[in-house]
């Protein structure tokens, strides 16, 4: 191993490392710990809110890594799962952290931070619409950090991807695409966004994957990339695009 990073306030049950994201230049590392239990970023050792979650930002410093930030939800909630999924832009200056069990009109949210070094400012708190659950169970940022795709479970056993764009200094919803699971099948939404931000992959809990692209004022189906497999196959648990968006794993 080249390096081993640890949180400043780690406990055995925090699930530190359950989600990780690395900037393209390899200088900024974001690590989620969705069962971390502190109440705020000011006091990381109280353990008063089980499962509230946290995210840690590390920066390469010479031959090693040092922790430069400790991120929490704006209002941490017990069981919210902040840090369940994390994403970082290529330049390491935009970070998204999901809390897919945080209560609201629906269930789940995504917190977006911008900054560098030890200074990180929350710029958005994107919340699940009514009737949507596990908003933020998976997500992906484009290379520039200006496009964000958030996976969720919608009504009627639908996998959803909510696509947001950063413009006029705010995040705006550009569209919601869906992929219904087979009758009786568990919905396990997984999402990937091509680096240029103009191609989206969404899995629904089988290995069936749909590709979407911008169309008019929203997003439209471009391709059913894979057909549903036999029932004994496992679901697609992760999706990833190559840097140019030409290859999907």
Q: Containing H/E element for 125? A: strand 119-127
Mean of per-residue pLDDT scores for the chain? 90
Q: Rounded to an integer, what distance in angstroms lies between the CA atom of residue 161 and that of residue 132?
A: 11
Phi-psi region of 156 (alpha: psi -120 to 50; beta: other; left: phi over 0): left
Q: Tell me: the pLDDT tens digits for 146-162?
A: 999 999 999 888 999 99
25-78 residue pLDDT tens: 999 999 999 999 998 766 667 888 999 999 999 999 887 899 999 999 999 999
- The CA distance from 195 to 225, in Å, is 18
What confidence tens digit (pLDDT) does each residue in 180-236 have? 877 767 888 999 999 999 999 999 876 678 999 999 889 999 988 765 555 555 667
The pLDDT value given to residue 228: 53
pLDDT at 23 exceeding the cut of 90: yes
Nearest to 176 by CA among 212, 140, 205: 212
State the Cα–Cα distance between residues 24 and 89, nearest whole angstrom. Answer: 8
Alpha-carbon span 92 to 55, nearest angstrom: 14
Model pLDDT, residue 48? 86
The pLDDT-based confidence of 168 (bands split at 50, 70, 90) is: confident
> Tell me, what's the pLDDT at 44?
60
What would the pLDDT profile of 7-20 be if each residue is shown by its tens digit? Answer: 988 888 999 999 99
Tell me the two tokens of residue 145: 């950090």
Lowest mean pLDDT, pick from 74-88, 106-120, 173-187: 173-187
Distance CA 35, CA 13 (A): 7
| Geometric angle at alpha carbon 43, from 49 and 76, rounded to 5° | 40
Do the Cβ atoms of 43 and 25 come closer than 8 Å?
no
Burial class, 28, CB count within 10 angstroms (exposed 0-12 / middle 13-18 / buried 19+): buried
How high is the pLDDT of residue 171? 94
pLDDT band at 127 (very low <50, low <70, confident <90, very high): very high
This prediction's pTM: 0.93
Per-position b or e across 151-164, b if 16+ CB within 10 A of its CB = bbbbeebbbbbbbb
């Amino acid at each position: 191993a080249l390096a081993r990073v640890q949180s400043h306030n780690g406990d055995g049950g925090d699930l530190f490392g359950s989600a990780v994201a690395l900037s393209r230049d390899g200088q900024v590392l974001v690590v989620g710990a969705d069962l971390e239990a502190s109440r705020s970023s000011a006091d990381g050792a109280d353990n008063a809110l089980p499962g509230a979650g946290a995210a840690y930002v590390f920066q390469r410093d010479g031959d090693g890594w040092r922790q430069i930030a400790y991120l929490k939800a704006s209002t941490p909630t017990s069981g919210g799962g902040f840090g369940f999924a994390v994403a970082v832009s290529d330049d390491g200056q935009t970070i998204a952290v999901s809390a897919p069990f945080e209560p609201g009109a629906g269930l789940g949210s995504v917190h977006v931070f911008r900054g560098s070094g030890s200074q990180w400012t929350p710029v958005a708190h994107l919340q699940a619409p009514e009737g949507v659950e596990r908003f933020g169970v998976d997500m992906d940022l484009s290379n520039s950090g200006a496009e964000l795709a958030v996976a969720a479970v919608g009504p009627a056993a639908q996998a959803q991807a909510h696509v947001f764009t950063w413009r006029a200094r705010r995040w705006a919803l550009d569209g919601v695409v869906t992929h219904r699971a087979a009758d009786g099948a568990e919905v396990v939404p997984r999402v990937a966004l091509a680096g240029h931000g103009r191609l989206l992959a969404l899995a629904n809990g089988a290995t069936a994957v749909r590709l979407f692209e911008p169309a008019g004022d929203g997003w439209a189906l471009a391709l059913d990339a894979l057909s549903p497999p036999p029932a004994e196959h496992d679901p697609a648990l992760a999706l990833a695009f190559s840097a140019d968006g030409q290859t999907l794993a």
